[in-house]
Amino acid sequence: MLFKDVAETLERISLEQSINKKVEIIGDLLRRAAPEEIDVVSRFVIGKPFPEWSGKELNVGWRTVLKAAVNVTGVDSGEIVKLFKRYGDTGSVVEAILEKRKPTLLSPVKPLTVLEVHEILEKIAGISGEGSFQGRVKLVEHMLVRASPIEAKYICRLLLGELRCGFNEGLLEHAIARAFDIDVKKIRKANMLLSDIGYVAKLSKLKPPKIEDVKIEFFRPVRFMLAEQAESIAEAWRYHSGRVAVECKYDGARVQVHKLGDKVKIFSRRMEDITDSLPEVVREIVDIEGEFIVDGEIVCWKNGPMPFQYLVRRLRRKTLSDELLETYPVKLFAFDILKVGGRDLIDEPYISRVKVLEKVLKGAWNVIEIAERKFPSSEEECTEIFENCTKRGFEGVLIKAIDSPYVPGRRERLWFKYKGEIGRHIHEFTLVIIAAEYGHGKRAGLLSDYVFAAWDRNREKLIPVGKAYTGLKDREIAYMTKRLKEIALYESGNRIYVKPKIVVDVAASEIQISPKYPLGYALRFPRIVRIRPDLSLEDVDTVEKIEKAFLRDVKFKSVS
Ligand code: AMP
């Protein structure tokens, strides 16, 4: 398939208002794709050229893209600034530049195929070290010389991770279902188990489709099951009529550990392969008999839990010295098991999975422990367990239905988390930073003010919902400045717009009416509670949650 087909289809869906029509158009494209390219096409139409867990990242910023466009066309930088003011998006700027390119007298270039573009993107992802910028520019040029303006626009948007077509993975699941006449529930389940929509599309296209009985595969991470916040212990207890287990809520990073033969891989909640950051866990896992996939939480631990920030510090480091391993020792608290040998366990009830987990991890381990769990016989006992956990430095508890299956990728009421009474009028949201501004005075030269966004209802567009000046320590601001510059999309005055990559927990005392924001209201006095390197865009809240909080505020005010 030619890349032109993909680019033109993306342009069509970006102009299309009807969601149904978008799904139909992408479904047609998938039907036309050959089995050996459908995985690539599927990933391209949602702007994610590689599976999240592949560890491949493009690391291409707008400067790289524009440099390549300038080299290919000879356009001057004054012209670029003008175009930026007009379009505000690198892809459209490059499209406009290429439209002005004079036709050459040389023989016409061979059009780019989807697989060629993919191959070049893989090469770009493989570049590191000295001279990377130049190397990436060269490879981008390589594509742009052969691209038409519309192809160039979508190549650049792919490179920058921003397609702006109003099409996401959820809609792609529908498009695959429609293209190959398969129940969308089966597609969704397969995607949760395999965490690779490209592979799911490929399995759906095969004849007969291999999507019917997808099993969990070792070394392909399964989406994590998530917990719903409970307002009170009573809510969780009553919802499950007391048929619950209560576990400590460890304040660390979620991990999934795969072991097959003497090979071990550990994936983060963002599906990244973080095996190399946890050598002491790997060493112990290798010694455990059998093949399994275990779910748990990694915590920095010295005679008790250490603050979450310690773990962040440790996971951020590329090289691990002995000193670092000693300063920030970790423990793995395993709380669930998804597969043992060839047997998938996710449809079995919690209580049976836990028994298997205990059998698999039997023996005394140093770094690995099974999460503490109790089976209370009354609501009061449930409260006592919670109080005991928080007294010992844990964040709270998880209250899990003992009959519940493991539901990958879903925030269901099968698991409740409870961290105690949060003040009625303090709200906390998980948001993503989309822009940042330089500070003043002591913070001049530092990107210290951040604009946050939440997803719209359909999880298609990010909507700005507030701006914060406070909450981070100087060291964190310095780190953020460096990181934000790395992911910059373009600059405008004092503000830089960035790829939506940095996820943060934000607290706000109130939601207030604000005509400046697209929703008509915004967070008042927002404060970053913590940076969440363990989360990805999928974890960001939708505006619905903010709307609910807004309505609660209004109700609260009218009674108080
Ligand atoms: P939150 O990140 O606030 O949505 O809380 C859910 C997270 O708590 C999970 O994703 C895990 O990382 C973490 N967690 C800590 N202890 C447990 C536990 N015993 N069971 C499940 N999740 C846990």
What's the pLDDT tens digit per position in 357-391? 999 999 878 999 999 999 999 999 999 999 999 99
Tell which one of 398, 413, 422 to mutate to probe ligand 1, the residue whose CB is within 8 A of the most ligand atoms. Answer: 398
Euclidean distance between the first and the last CA atom of the chain, given in angstroms as a whole number:
63
In the DSSP assignment, the letter for residue 157 is H
Measure Cα distances from 221 to 215, 271, 538, 551 in Å: 12, 6, 15, 38
* Nearest partner of 60 among 153, 146, 132, 168, judged by Cα: 132
Q: How far apart are CA 556 and CA 560, in angstroms?
A: 6
226-418 folds as D-amino Acid Aminotransferase; Chain A, domain 1 (3.30.470)
48-160 folds as DNA ligase i, domain 1 (1.10.3260)
Tell which one of 417, 430, 531 to mutate to probe ligand 1, the residue whose CB is within 8 A of the most ligand atoms. Answer: 417
Contact between 239 and 227 (Cβ < 8 Å): no
Tell which one of 254, 330, 332, 353 to mutate to probe ligand 1, the residue whose CB is within 8 A of the most ligand atoms. Answer: 254
Question: 100-158, pLDDT tens digit by residue?
Answer: 776 665 556 889 999 999 999 999 999 988 999 999 999 999 999 999 999 999 999 99
Q: How far apart are CA 6 and CA 230, in angstroms?
A: 44
Measure Cα distances from 442 to 446, 474, 482 in Å: 9, 10, 17
427-559 folds as OB fold (Dihydrolipoamide Acetyltransferase, E2P) (2.40.50)
**419 CA closest ligand 1 atom index:** 3
Torsion sign (Cα): 421, 426, 427, 433:
negative
CA of 26 to the centre of ligand 1 (A): 36
* Nearest partner of 499 among 9, 173, 267, 164, judged by Cα: 164
Average pLDDT value for residue range 420-430: 71
CA of 377 to the centre of ligand 1 (A): 23
Question: 258-313, pLDDT tens digit by residue?
Answer: 999 999 999 999 898 999 999 999 999 999 999 999 999 999 999 889 988 889 88
* Nearest partner of 304 among 360, 346, 355, 248, judged by Cα: 248
Q: Whose CA is nearest to atom 1 of ligand 1?
A: 227
Contact between 457 and 520 (Cβ < 8 Å): no
Q: How far apart are CA 502 and CA 506, in angstroms?
A: 12
* Nearest partner of 244 among 344, 386, 359, judged by Cα: 386
What was the pLDDT predicted at 293? 98
Q: How far apart are CA 559 and CA 311, in angstroms?
A: 43
Q: Whose CA is nearest to atom 16 of ligand 1?
A: 249
Q: Which residues does ligand 1 sit against, CB inside 6 Å? A: 226-227, 247, 249-250, 254, 297, 335, 371, 398, 417
Find tokens 């190549």 and name the residue.
155
**248 CA closest ligand 1 atom index:** 19
Q: How far apart are CA 6 and CA 41, in angstroms?
A: 7
**pLDDT above 90 covers what percent of the chain?**
61
Question: 195-213, pLDDT tens digit by residue?
Answer: 999 999 999 998 777 887 8
Residue 344 β-bridge partners: 339
Phi first, then psi: give them for residue 105, nearest 5 degrees: -90, -10
What was the pLDDT predicted at 556? 53
Contact between 33 and 179 (Cβ < 8 Å): no
Contact between 283 and 262 (Cβ < 8 Å): no
CA of 248 to the centre of ligand 1 (A): 9
CA of 469 to the centre of ligand 1 (A): 28
**pLDDT above 70 covers what percent of the chain?**
96
Measure Cα distances from 27 to 68, 174, 190, 318, 367 in Å: 33, 8, 18, 41, 48
CA of 63 to the centre of ligand 1 (A): 39
Please say if the pLDDT value at position 559 is more than 60.
no
Q: How far apart are CA 299 and CA 320, in angstroms?
A: 17
Q: Is 249 marked active-site?
A: yes
Q: Looking at 153, 202, 249, 331, which residue is catalytic?
A: 249
CA of 5 to the centre of ligand 1 (A): 43
**Domain boundaries defined on the chain:** 48-160, 226-418, 427-559
